[in-house]
Amino acid sequence: MTPQEESLLEHFEAWELPPDAIAWLLDLWRITQTLDDVVDRDEIAPEVAQKAIWSIFVTFPANPFYLANAAQLQPALATAVLKWEAASRAERLGFADAKSYMWRAAYYDVLLLVVLLCQGYDSAMAKAPAVMALYGESYDEYRAEFPNHG
């Protein structure tokens, strides 16, 4: 498990999310990070690729939390993919800015929905600031990737 995954796991457990929801969220993280590396043409270790492939085809779609909540999760996933593409396109075209930086944080939108589905409105409202604060990349770090833009 990567340090990022370990940090996410610690937060998910502290928030008392159900084990199936935690497993699904970690699969989603692993999949998105690996596919982002593919698109960016970053080097991917074979074991990282194999774990992502297993997640994509086996554990992610068969996860009991996902199966029980697919009708709510699928539109959130679709929106996350669209936001990721919008950010990637802006970056490729030289228009990386504060808006494209926030579009990249769509994982945390899905996470908020998971908290809502698992624990209800009051808990999701209370945890929303902490959930959004998990976004680990600062705007300055993001801007450093695109020094002539934004």
Q: What is the pLDDT of residues 77-104, one digit of tens each?
A: 999 999 999 999 998 899 999 999 999 8
pLDDT at 148 over 70: no
Tell me what percent of the chain is helix, strand and coil, each rounded to the nearest 5. 80, 0, 20
Phi-psi region of 137 (alpha: psi -120 to 50; beta: other; left: phi over 0): beta
Average pLDDT over residues 9-13: 98
pTM for this model (two decimals): 0.92
Other CB atoms within a 10 A radius of the CB of residue 1 amount to 11
pLDDT confidence of residue 149: 56
